[in-house]
C-alpha cells in the first residue's frame, strides 16, 4: 500500500522576499485551508417603484389639454354643420331668403361658409396643439429619457415590423 507523501516543507524565508500568502486567490493546494467566507452584506434598500404612468400629474395635464383640444375643434366644425342642418330643416324660409341682388340665398351662403369654418377649426387645432400639447409631451419625453422622435428614425427601417421608427 503506497504511503502518501508528506506535504513539502514551506519554502525558506529569505529576508529580502516577503512570505507568499497562505492561499492564492484563484486556487488552493491540498494542505491549504479555504479562505473564510466574506461577511454577509446588509440587504439593499428596497427600490421605490416608479409612479404608474396613468397617475402622473404631467400625464394628467397632457391628457386634459389634448382632450380639451379635441373637443373644441370637433364641436366647432360639427356644431356649425349641425346648425346648418337644423336651419335647413326647421327654418326653410330663412334659408331661401335671397342675400342682396346676387341671387345667393342664405342657405347657399351658409353652405359655402362650411369650408372656411372647418379650415379655421383645423388651424386653431394646430396652433393650440403646438402651444399647449406639444411642450407637455416633449417635456415628458425628455424626462423619460427618450431622444426627440425626429432623430430616432433610421434609414432602411421596415414599416411592416415597426423597426426604424
Q: What are the tens digits of pLDDT across the range 26-85?
A: 666 667 677 677 888 888 887 777 655 545 688 888 889 889 988 988 888 899 999 999
| 136 has pLDDT over 80 | yes
The mean per-residue pLDDT over the stretch 110-132 comes to 91
Separation CA 158–CA 165 (nearest Å)? 9
**DSSP bridge partners of 20:** none
Q: Are 11 and 2 in contact (CB under 8 A)?
A: no
CA distances from 43 to 36, 49, 85, 140, 165 (A): 20, 17, 71, 33, 41
Q: Tens of pLDDT along 92-119? A: 999 999 998 888 999 999 999 999 999 9
| N-terminal to C-terminal alpha carbon distance within the chain | 76
Amino acid at each position: 500500500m503506497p504511503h502518501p507523501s508528506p506535504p513539502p516543507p514551506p519554502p525558506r524565508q529569505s529576508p529580502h522576499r516577503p512570505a507568499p500568502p497562505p492561499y492564492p486567490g484563484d486556487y488552493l493546494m491540498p494542505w491549504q485551508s479555504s479562505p473564510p467566507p466574506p461577511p454577509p452584506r446588509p440587504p439593499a434598500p428596497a427600490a421605490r417603484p416608479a409612479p404608474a404612468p396613468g397617475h402622473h400629474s404631467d400625464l394628467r395635464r397632457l391628457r386634459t389639454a389634448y382632450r380639451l383640444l379635441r373637443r373644441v375643434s370637433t364641436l366647432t366644425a360639427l356644431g356649425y354643420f349641425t346648425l346648418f342642418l337644423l336651419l335647413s330643416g326647421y327654418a326653410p324660409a330663412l334659408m331661401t331668403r335671397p342675400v342682396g341682388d346676387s341671387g345667393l340665398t342664405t342657405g347657399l351662403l351658409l353652405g359655402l361658409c362650411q369650408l372656411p369654418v372647418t379650415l379655421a377649426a383645423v388651424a386653431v387645432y394646430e396652433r393650440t396643439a403646438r402651444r399647449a400639447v406639444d411642450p407637455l409631451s416633449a417635456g415628458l419625453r425628455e424626462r423619460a429619457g427618450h431622444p426627440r422622435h425626429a432623430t430616432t428614425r433610421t434609414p432602411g427601417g421596415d414599416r411592416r415590423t415597426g423597426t426604424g421608427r
